């Protein structure tokens, strides 16, 4: 997963780089210092460099949070860093699940709000809060929930135009809020591209079904296992299709296995 997370962070950065100048232009709050795009790009870019140069790898999100703490630039960069300082606490398992996302966002929101004196609504904090609210109230696999959270983020970013006088006057959304959303759009697109559906039909399964399903939960979501006579049909959404394939091959005679991207290009 580490490689996918890293690629997702890089994609988030790429999306931000593409919108950097526009983000600078719409930066009117708290003062029009026109550097939100620069600050977010610098914060994330330098953090990725640090993570890539690490020889000892621990949990990716712990590494990236530590690096962001080191590279945080400007207020938006600082809040981004504070968010991931909390987010990492929810990302304590090997795999990326909806539960991780829920816990990560909940902790990220808490960390960002608690880390700031006089938190202001209509800013990056608001998009964090609203995306988190959406995530906490959704069911489904991690990619589906994240997609819905991003849709919510888009609505909230537009609403920020009306939330602060400085933004209303210039008819722009908050640059930090939009920057945070853009990052997650990039992160999501990368995650989505690596999300697979595995369907397998196995004969003579050697495992206990309950134990098998419980084992699969460490590698994916949307798990459906149907047993009929000696045949078992397995359905799972996963970022790790090859691992799933290996697991299934060890459990019985595989009659058929299909691996397809959940979202086709």
Partner 1 sequence: MGKEIKVFVDESVILPSNFISKYDIGIIPIRIMSSEGDEWSYKEREEIVEGLKKGFVFRTSLPSPSMVIKILERERDKKIISFHVSSEMSGIANVMKAVGRRFENLIIVDTRTAGPASGMAVLAGLKVLSEGKDIDTLIETSLAVGRDSLTYMAVPEALRLAKIRPIEGLKKFIQDPSLFIKFLRSPFGFPIVTILDGKLKIYNFSRSFEDACLKMIEGILNYISKRKGNVYLFLFYSQKDENTERFKDMVLKKIDFFKFYEGEVGRVPLCAIGFNAFGITVYKGNIELV
Binding site for partner 1 (CB under 8 A): 30-33, 35, 39, 69-75, 77-78, 81-82, 85, 115-118, 166
- Shortest distance, CB of residue 170 to partner 1, whole angstroms? 13
Tell me how far apart the alpha carbons of residues 103 and 219 are, in angstroms, rounded to a whole number. Answer: 18
List the 231-238 sheet strands across, edge first: 221-228, 231-238, 196-203, 253-261
Tell me how far apart the alpha carbons of residues 212 and 196 are, in angstroms, rounded to a whole number. Answer: 19
| Sign of the C-alpha dihedral computed for residues 3, 5, 7 and 10 taken in this order | negative
- Measured from the CB atom, the residue of 125 and 149 that comes closer to partner 1 is 125
- Shortest distance, CB of residue 72 to partner 1, whole angstroms? 5
Contact 88, 138 (CB under 8 A): no
Please report which helix (H) or strand (E) contains residue 75, including its range.
helix 74-90
- Shortest distance, CB of residue 255 to partner 1, whole angstroms? 54
- Measured from the CB atom, the residue of 69 and 144 that comes closer to partner 1 is 69
- Measured from the CB atom, the residue of 30 and 171 that comes closer to partner 1 is 30
Tell me how far apart the alpha carbons of residues 22 and 198 are, in angstroms, rounded to a whole number. Answer: 40
Tell me how far apart the alpha carbons of residues 101 and 89 are, in angstroms, rounded to a whole number. Answer: 10
- Shortest distance, CB of residue 66 to partner 1, whole angstroms? 9
List the Cα angle 221/265/194 in 5-degree steps: 35
Please report which helix (H) or strand (E) contains residue 255, including its range.
strand 253-261
- Shortest distance, CB of residue 58 to partner 1, whole angstroms? 16
**Hey, what's the torsion of the CAs at 100, 177, 115, 42, to 10 degrees?**
90
- Shortest distance, CB of residue 111 to partner 1, whole angstroms? 9
- Shortest distance, CB of residue 35 to partner 1, whole angstroms? 6
| CB atoms inside a 10 Å sphere around CB 183 | 23
């Amino acid at each position: 997963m580490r490689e996918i997370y890293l690629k997702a962070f890089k994609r988030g950065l790429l999306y931000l780089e593409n919108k950097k100048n526009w983000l600078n232009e719409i930066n009117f709050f708290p003062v029009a210092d026109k550097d939100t795009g620069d600050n977010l790009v610098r914060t994330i870019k330098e953090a990725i460099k640090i993570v890539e140069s690490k020889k000892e790898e621990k949990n990716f999100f712990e590494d990236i949070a530590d690096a962001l703490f080191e590279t945080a630039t400007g207020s938006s960069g600082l809040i981004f860093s504070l968010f991931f300082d909390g987010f990492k606490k929810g990302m304590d398992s090997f795999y990326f699940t909806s539960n991780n996302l829920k816990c990560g966002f909940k902790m990220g929101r808490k960390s960002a709000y608690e880390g700031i004196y006089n938190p202001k609504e209509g800013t990056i904090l608001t998009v964090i809060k609203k995306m988190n609210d959406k995530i906490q109230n959704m069911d489904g696999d991690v990619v589906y929930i994240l997609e819905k959270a991003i849709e919510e983020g888009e609505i909230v970013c537009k609403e920020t135009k009306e939330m602060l006088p400085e933004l209303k006057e210039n008819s722009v959304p908050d640059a930090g809020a939009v920057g945070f959303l853009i990052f997650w759009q990039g992160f999501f697109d990368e995650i989505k591209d690596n999300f697979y559906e595995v369907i397998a039909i196995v004969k003579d399964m050697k495992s206990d079904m309950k134990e098998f399903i419980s084992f699969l939960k460490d590698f994916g979501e949307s798990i459906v296992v149907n047993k009929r006579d000696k045949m078992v049909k397995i359905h799972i959404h996963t970022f790790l299709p090859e691992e799933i394939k290996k697991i299934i091959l060890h459990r019985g005679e595989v009659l058929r296995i299909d691996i397809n991207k959940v979202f086709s290009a």
